[in-house]
C-alpha cells in the first residue's frame, strides 16, 4: 500500500503568476525579454541609430493608440482612425498656402469632425461603436481621396517637414510629441473629473447615467479626442514622409492601435485604461516586427506572432475577469 507523506509546513512550491499579474505586468516583461533576446542574438539591434529608428516608427501608432485607449475604456472602439489620418493628410496641402498654423488647425479640425460624427452616432443615435465608426472607416478615406484628386502630393514646407524629421536635444520631435501626449493622457485619466467619468461610464454605463454623469457629452468628447489624436498622427506621418498620400496613409492603423491597447492590458470590456501599458504594447509590436525582420523572416510571420500575442492578451483578460 502506497502512502503520500503530507507536505512539510512552510515548504510549499512557489505559486506561478496568475492572469492578474500577466495583465498588469506581462507587456513590460515581454518588452524586456525581447530586448534581452536581441542583445544576445541580434547583431547591431541595440544601437542608438536602430533604437532611434524604432521609436520614430512607433510614435504615430502610440499617438493613435492613446486615443483608442480612451475609446476602449468606454467599452467602445473606433475603426475610423486610419481615415482620420488620411483626411488630415489630404487637408494639409490644400491650406499650407495660408500658413502652417492655419493648415495644422484645419487638419486637426478634420479629425475632430470625424470624432464628433462617431461620438454623435454612438451617444445620441445609440449605434454600436463598431457600426458607427465603420461608416467613416469606409467613407472617410474616400472623402480624403476626393479632396486630393486621388493623387500623392509632395510637401515642401520646411516648417512642416521639421515636425517629422527634426529633433530637440537629440530626441526626434515625433517621439517627444508622443511622449508628452502619453503623459497628458495619463494625467487626463487619473487626475481629472473627465477621466474618472470616462472610466465610470466604461465600467457601468447605466449606473453612470443614474448617478447623473453626462454620459452623452463624455462619450462624444472621447471620440473627438480620438479623432484629433489620429489627425495629429496623420500630420506627423505626412511630415516624415514629405508627402501627402491619402490612399495608403493610416492603412490598418486601427488594428495596430487596438492591438497596442489590448496587449497593454486595457480590457475590451471597458472600465479601465492603462496608458503606460498602451505605450508598451505599441513598442512590443514594433520590436517584435523589427526582430523578425532582422532575422530575415517574412512580414507575414510577424503578423502571425502578433495574432498569437493578441489571443493570449484577450485570454488573460477574460480569465482575470471571470475570477
pTM above 0.85, yes or no: yes
Set out the domains of the chain in order of their start, with CATH numbers: 45-320 (1.10.3470)
Lowest mean pLDDT among 2-6, 135-139, 254-258: 2-6
* Cα–Cα distance measured from residue 304 to residue 180, given in angstroms and rounded to the nearest whole number: 32
CB 294 within 8 A of CB 45: yes
For residues 101-105, give the mean pLDDT.
96
Determine the pLDDT at residue 20.
Answer: 73
Considering only CA atoms, which of 211, 191, 185 is closest in space to residue 274? 185
For residues 126-145, give the mean pLDDT.
92
Using DSSP, state whether 142 is helix, strand or coil: helix
CB 235: neighbour CB atoms within 10 A? 27
Using 50, 70 and 90 to split pLDDT, how confident is the model at 320? low
3 state SS for 279-292? HHHHHHHHHHHHHH
- DSSP assignment of 252-276: THHHHHHHHHHHTT--TT-S---HH
pLDDT tens by residue, 66-84: 999 999 999 999 999 999 9
> Grid coordinates standing for 208?
453612470
pLDDT tens by residue, 193-245: 999 999 999 999 999 999 999 999 999 999 999 999 999 999 999 999 999 99
Dihedral (CA of 95, 96, 102, 108) sign:
positive
Using 50, 70 and 90 to split pLDDT, how confident is the model at 53? very high
Using 50, 70 and 90 to split pLDDT, how confident is the model at 143? very high
CB 112 within 8 A of CB 224: yes
CB 286 within 8 A of CB 61: yes
pLDDT tens by residue, 267-301: 988 899 999 999 999 999 999 989 988 888 887 78
Determine the pLDDT at residue 3.
Answer: 42
For residues 165-169, give the mean pLDDT.
90
Amino acid at each position: 500500500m502506497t502512502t503520500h507523506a503530507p507536505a512539510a509546513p512552510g515548504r510549499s512550491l512557489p505559486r506561478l503568476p496568475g492572469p492578474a499579474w500577466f495583465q498588469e505586468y506581462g507587456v513590460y516583461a515581454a518588452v524586456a525579454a525581447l530586448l534581452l533576446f536581441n542583445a544576445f542574438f541580434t547583431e547591431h539591434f541595440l544601437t542608438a541609430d536602430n533604437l532611434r529608428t524604432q521609436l520614430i516608427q512607433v510614435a504615430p501608432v502610440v499617438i493613435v493608440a492613446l486615443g483608442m485607449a480612451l475609446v476602449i475604456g468606454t467599452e467602445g472602439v473606433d475603426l475610423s482612425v486610419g481615415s482620420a489620418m488620411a483626411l488630415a493628410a489630404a487637408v494639409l496641402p490644400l491650406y499650407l498656402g495660408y500658413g502652417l498654423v492655419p493648415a495644422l488647425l484645419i487638419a486637426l479640425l478634420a479629425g475632430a469632425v470625424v470624432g464628433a460624427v462617431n461620438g454623435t452616432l454612438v451617444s445620441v443615435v445609440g449605434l454600436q461603436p463598431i457600426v458607427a465608426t465603420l461608416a467613416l472607416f469606409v467613407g472617410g478615406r474616400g472623402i480624403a481621396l476626393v479632396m486630393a484628386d486621388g493623387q500623392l502630393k509632395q510637401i515642401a514646407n520646411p516648417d512642416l517637414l521639421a515636425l517629422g524629421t527634426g529633433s530637440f536635444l537629440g530626441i526626434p520631435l515625433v517621439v517627444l510629441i508622443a511622449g508628452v501626449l502619453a503623459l497628458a493622457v495619463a494625467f487626463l485619466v487619473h487626475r481629472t473629473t473627465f477621466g474618472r467619468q470616462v472610466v465610470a461610464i466604461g465600467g457601468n454605463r447605466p449606473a453612470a447615467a443614474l448617478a447623473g454623469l453626462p454620459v452623452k457629452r463624455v462619450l462624444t468628447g472621447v471620440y473627438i479626442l480620438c479623432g484629433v489624436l489620429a489627425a495629429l498622427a496623420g500630420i506627423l506621418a505626412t511630415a516624415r514622409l514629405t508627402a501627402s498620400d491619402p490612399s495608403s496613409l493610416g492603412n490598418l492603423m486601427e488594428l495596430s492601435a487596438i492591438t497596442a491597447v489590448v496587449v497593454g492590458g486595457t480590457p475590451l470590456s471597458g472600465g479601465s485604461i492603462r496608458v503606460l501599458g498602451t505605450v508598451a504594447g505599441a513598442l512590443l509590436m514594433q520590436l517584435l516586427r523589427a526582430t523578425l525582420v532582422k532575422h530575415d523572416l517574412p512580414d507575414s510571420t510577424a503578423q502571425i506572432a502578433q495574432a498569437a500575442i493578441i489571443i493570449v492578451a484577450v485570454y488573460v483578460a477574460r480569465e482575470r475577469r471571470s475570477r
